[in-house]
Structure 1
């Protein structure tokens, strides 16, 4: 058994870059910043460390990201880690680690106008968006009441990498 699940809350670092592939599939990519705040043990001063994540949305989720995600938008993203490789122009192998979003929720937006209050950093009802995949379920013969998900292999994603 294995699990590849990522949960992130952060702010979009840029507007989504949208591409339409030859297969007709749509993809949107953007960066997401997550910031860890802590206190330095030796000096007692507050510190921050920001991680930047490459987010990839496919199909309907890409359309929604194109419409609603903007630089500064606070998002909750649920997805999985995917690492891919490619050869650069000099023939060197490069590796890219991305978060493939399965769903996300808009939590709010940084206000450009400081006079505009944002309650708790989120709108009253934040919409949630989800990408659906057909995941077959199999029952174990000895225990018919329990099901276990099969390894999810989305062949369409592997066929149409956006690079």
Structure 2
């Protein structure tokens, strides 16, 4: 048995390229930069080392997502690795790339830019996704009624009031009992 799943989060390294196959299927290609932290043995300092990952998305969702992606956009991607080989000018080349199954918009470097809420994946038809942008990058979609938090001990089928968390309050290590 083998497992071929990859999850990455990073920024687009270039504007995406949208093209079509001869059969008319949309193909969206883009690159994502993912940092890796490692300690420099000479200086003892931690350094970020970038990894550049080529990604490809297929089908109707490639058309829909292309309009919201641009260089610098932060995304989270889940997909599978695919090995490609080709020959050019007598030289053999190869690379690993990610075939995107799910894409979630994390943020944008462009203030005021809009993107659809949530994420895009192959398990749902495109009608499942919003037709037009509804919130800024990074905004969280509302939870459905069945996903609302329940008070401790409340029956699962009863909506219980849960106190709101004050986002301005902060938690310090001294407040944690362990």
Offset, 1:65? 2.8
- Structure 2 partner of 1:46: 46
Whole-Å Cα distance in 2 between the matches of residues 14 and 70 of structure 1?
7
More strand by share: 1
Whole-Å Cα distance in 1 between the matches of residues 117 and 40 of structure 2?
35
Higher relative contact order (CA 8 A, sep 6+): 1
Is the deviation greater in 94-103 or in 48-57? 94-103
Offset, 1:85? 1.3
Runs in 1 of length 4+ with deviation above 4 angstroms?
A: none
Query: Are residues 44 and 96 of structure 1, via their aligned partners in 2, closer, same or farther at CA, if it must alter by over 3 Å?
Result: closer
- Structure 2 partner of 1:22: 22
Query: Are residues 37 and 48 of structure 1, via their aligned partners in 2, closer, same or farther at CA, if it must alter by over 3 Å?
Result: same
Return 5+ residue gaps in structure 2 as ranges: 125-178
Residue 32 (structure 1) aligned with residue 23 (structure 2): no
Task: Say how many residue pairs are matched.
Answer: 122
Whole-Å Cα distance in 2 between the matches of residues 43 and 94 of structure 1?
36
- Structure 1 partner of 2:123: 132
Return 5+ residue gaps in structure 1 as ranges: 117-122, 134-163
- Structure 1 partner of 2:55: 55
Matches within 5 A, 1:55-134: 55-88=55-88, 90-111=89-110, 126-132=117-123
- Structure 2 partner of 1:9: 9
Q: TM (normalized to structure 2)?
A: 0.62
Q: Output one character per residue of 1:27-62: Cα deviation in whole Å (capped at 9) or x when no partner.
A: 010100001234435423231100000000101231
Secondary structure of the residue that 1:68 maps to in structure 2? coil
CA root-mean-square deviation: 2.3
Offset, 1:86? 1.6
Query: Are residues 86 and 13 of structure 1, via their aligned partners in 2, closer, same or farther at CA, if it must alter by over 3 Å?
Result: same
